[in-house]
Amino acid sequence: MASIKNIFSPRTNENGEFYRTLTRIMGFSPKNIALYEEAFTHRSMNEKNGNGEAKNYERMEFLGDTLLSTVIAAHLYKKVPGGDEGYLTKMRSKVVSREHLNELGRDLNLIKLVRTSIPTKQFGENIHGNVFEALIGAIFLDRGYRYCNRFIHKRVIKPYVDIQKLEGKVISYKSLFIEWCQKNKKRFKFNIYEDNGNDALKHFAVRLLLEDETVAKARATSKKKAEERASKRAYYKLQRRIDNEMVNSSQSV
């Protein structure tokens, strides 16, 4: 906890580490440092504001999520004038996927700024994306939409939003596998069962069947993750076949 305390101790001081780190990450200096303190406060701190309301990053996370989607949507609308609603929605989903937001948060090492009463190693992966969205919310409240838009362009759009690469990016291997099966009238089934082994956490195992034959197996801490992992393995195992049949079916429409 000492390192966290050192970051936040001179919180309103422009020479403080927290202030300097934020300025480096955002590309501009914060005005109301208290907003950013809240954006990096975990609910485990049990802090409340003057009105007795919870003071943590969760409300700002909601705000940041909405702002991020808006800025990305506006960018795609201008960048791809021929894209219809379905195409633009799908492309935006790829940019603001939970996996991608977690990656952005990790790249910026935002977790080192989080104030918490429990060890950060106990958090799940989503903490990285959650605080990234909360930071966007804090920027909007502190500096307005123009600075918020500027930050998203710098940290998300410029380094990561490549239209051609996004078009080929798979969001969900499970959805892709199911779509392929349905279009080609293939029978499939996810057989799920508990498989804890020697792990302290509950694990689930899944066997993915295609036409009554097992094409992939996987295990994870949730059923959803296990199914996605098995679908990804099945996709790579059958990639050439799936890609060819998906292309042929789209051309025949």
What are the catalytic residues?
65, 133
Q: According to DSSP H, which parts of 80-207 are helical?
A: 85-95, 98-107, 126-143, 145-152, 158-160, 163-167, 173-183
DSSP element (H, E) containing 194: strand 188-194
Distance of CA 159 to the CA centre of its chain: 16
Angle at 71 between CA 67 and CA 72, to 5 degrees: 115
d(CA 40, CA 55): 10
- Residue 193 makes CB contacts below 8 A (sequence gap 6+) with 204, 205, 206
Length of the chain: 253
